[in-house]
Amino acid sequence: MSKKIKVGLIGLTLESHLSGIPGLRERMEGYLNHAAGKLAIPGVKVLRLGLVDHPEKARRAGDFLSGEQVEAVFVFFASGGEHQSLLPALVRPRVPVLILNLQPAPALNYQLISEMADGDKRKGEMLSFSQVRALARAAVVLNQSDLSYRIVSGWLEDDQAWEEITAWEQVIRARCQLRETRIGLLGNWECPDSADADIRNAVSRFSVQFEYIDKREIARNRELVKDEELGKKRTRFTDRDSGDLEETAEISCALDRAVAEHKIDLLVGCSSASEVWRKSILAKVHVPVFWEGGISGALACRILELLGSHGQIAALQSVDYLEEVLLWEHGAGVSSHQGEITCLGFIQDTGALPEMVVAQGISQGDEYPGMRIRYELPVRQFITEWAQSGAGDQCVIGTGYQAVSIMQLCEVLQIPCRKIC
């Protein structure tokens, strides 16, 4: 998805503060502008609505943000504020809310305040650091509403706070991209109830779109394949590829056309698809293709990709009790990552909501034909907890530690997530 997502930013304060203390409005506007600049990461457009110091301004802000279809609202506590100026701005958009409890500096300058002779200046300095008081008051009301919100605390130049804020932005962007994901289904998808449940869950919980690609469409596209396309496609097959390479290359070109026409992001093959279809698209089409793992496995790979990782489907193979590692088998021709990894699994239950299971570990590479992974838990305990979670014998193994981002995404999607380690 090339377009930017929109997020709203409002600064919460009190009208009496701004009108009663000279220079405070300009100072708060400066802080808000600073926050807007930090929020403007690649792929995110920040709609800055300025300081909200009155319920009527809050209502107008909420109407505007709702009309703009923002993906999230960031609330910056400037010099305090009341819930009357907060809730109206958040009720209309009905999107995730992140409260930025960021004061100007790590601490008050106590000596400066003690030396101030001007009472208004002293009050202004104190109000500039009063975010935590306003936050505690607002949280009481937010907890009584059905609005979901998260709080990030720190100061304006606090690297730790901004890392957390940026991570939330990336999760919100991933949710938007996931919603626009288009999955192509290959073969005969008049499949068992489990496949129907996977499709229903993907549509209802992730808003993923599906396109069915059957043999008739491929047959039509094969007639449109040009010699130039066919020649380029043949060069992508190796000497080890067997069978009728002419037919295989032609079907692969036909699938490329279907992918482009339907704007497909990834393909999932049904087990009923013919062997020639498998050969024609295995690592030869311009988008990821999944035969193993089904729709759940494909979605897990897509989620990891959108979070900046790279995933591959793997299946439990064996246990090395001597070295406390678990052996996972992955597809042929796939190289194993060495270092930090994340295992992402889906609960396989056809009648309930989808649920994710996540575990982090260290991959020791693939001396064995697969991946050797050591987890923080003793291997016996890990096996028990993974099995009892219901994730089954397959998962997607992604590069890097992604558990925090996955759990944040699940929170935004309102999907249960269980972290094993």
Over 60: is that where the pLDDT of 416 sits?
yes
Residue 1: predicted pLDDT:
47
pLDDT in tens, 125-164: 788 788 888 888 888 888 888 788 899 999 999 999 999 9
Q: Whole-prediction pTM value?
A: 0.83
Residue pLDDT, tens place only, 355-407: 889 999 999 876 666 789 999 999 999 999 999 988 888 899 999 999 999 99
Could you write out the DSSP letters of every residue in 94-148?
-S-EEEEEEESSSS--HHHHHH---HHHHHHHHHHT-HHHHHHHHHHHHHHSS--
> Please, which residues have CB within 8 angstroms of residue 85's CB and are 6 or more apart in sequence?
12, 13, 14, 52, 53, 54, 55, 57, 58
Cα–Cα dist 340/76, whole Å: 35
Q: What confidence category does residue 91 fall into, taking pLDDT thresholds of 50, 70 and 90?
A: confident
Give the whole-angstrom CA distance, residue 100 versus residue 78. Answer: 9
pLDDT, one tens digit per residue, over 248-257 is: 778 888 888 8
How far, CA to CA in Å, does 245 sit from each of 187, 232, 283, 331?
20, 13, 14, 22
Q: How is residue 285 annotated by DSSP?
A: S
Encoding tokens for residue 15?
A: 């009208």
Cα Rg, the chain, nearest whole Å? 26
Mean pLDDT, rounded, for 56-81: 87
Q: Which domains does the chain have, with CATH numbers?
A: 5-178 (3.40.50.10940), 182-290 (3.40.50), 308-419 (3.20.14.10)
pLDDT at 283: 41
The whole-chain average pLDDT of the chain stands at: 82
Pairing of the two strands 44-52 and 5-12: parallel
Half-sphere exposure of 216 (CA within 13 A, CB side): 2
Residues 318, 359 contacting (CB under 8 angstroms): no
Q: For residues 252 and 277, is the Cβ–Cβ distance under 8 A?
A: no
Q: What are phi and psi of 277, to 5 degrees?
A: -65, -45
Q: What share of the chain is helix, strand, coil (3-state, %, to 5)?
A: 45, 25, 30
